Amino acid sequence: MSNIKKLDISVVLPSYREAENLQLLLPRISKALDSLGLLSEIIVVDTIRQLDNTEEVCFLYGAKYILRKKDNSFGSAVRTGINCAQGNFTIFMDADGSHSPEFIPTLYDFAKDYDVVIASRYIKDGDTENPFVLIVMSKILNWIFSRVLGLNCKDVSNSFKIYRTSQLKLLNLKCNNFDIVEEILYKLKINNKNIKFREVPYFFKKRIFGKTKRNLFLFVLTYAYTIMKLRFRS
């Protein structure tokens, strides 16, 4: 009989030239996970070919370093992370420092009673450091996705969430951009009509170093296409 214990939590960070941020972030994630006293892993999903010293940073702080499959898209990183995750629960975080590792225990506290727990910017006591124009656009997009796809939550697009890994591994995810975050919620609901979401107020911070990888024009076009595709073809 195997003595290998099942991991409790996998923390997955899609990364694209984020070595400078990861150097600050990984020790904080480890500390947050250690405070829970659970078996865990940290997985950094890098680009197909190395573009900086992310691998060295991962080695230094004990994180698993893996490369994206197929292409360098965000969607590819998410799918790769899901395939590699071994924990009972999977947490996705941005690698730019906008998601606070100290919030991990809060997400986990609710995960035992809910299928998905969302670090929410748009419920009472939640907030974000983003500029006003981006906040308005984000709220509109979240409202549209929530209404059209029947998702009973206000912050659909924040990727800082905890999921049951077994449910994630059943999904056939096709989106390649940041819209894969919404695709996950929608397809989880399709698979389980009684799925339970829980939003917990969260303060979203700006990235620590570097510039965002999101192209605003492409972002809007992709989301418009995705919402139609999911609603009428999935």
pLDDT on residue 232 = 63
pLDDT on residue 1 = 42
Domains of the chain: 7-233 (3.90.550.10)
Tens of pLDDT along 12-34? 999 999 999 999 999 999 999 99
Output the CA–CA distances (angstroms, integers) from residue 53 to 21, 47, 50, 56, 121, in the order listed: 11, 11, 7, 5, 32
Please say whether the beta carbons of 112 and 195 come within 8 A.
Answer: no
pLDDT over threshold 70, residue 226: yes
Amino acid at 194: N
Whole-number average pLDDT of the chain: 89
Tens of pLDDT along 67-84? 998 899 999 999 999 999
Q: Residue 171's CB: how many other CB atoms inside 10 A?
A: 18
Using the structure block, give the residue that is written with the tokens 């003595």: 3
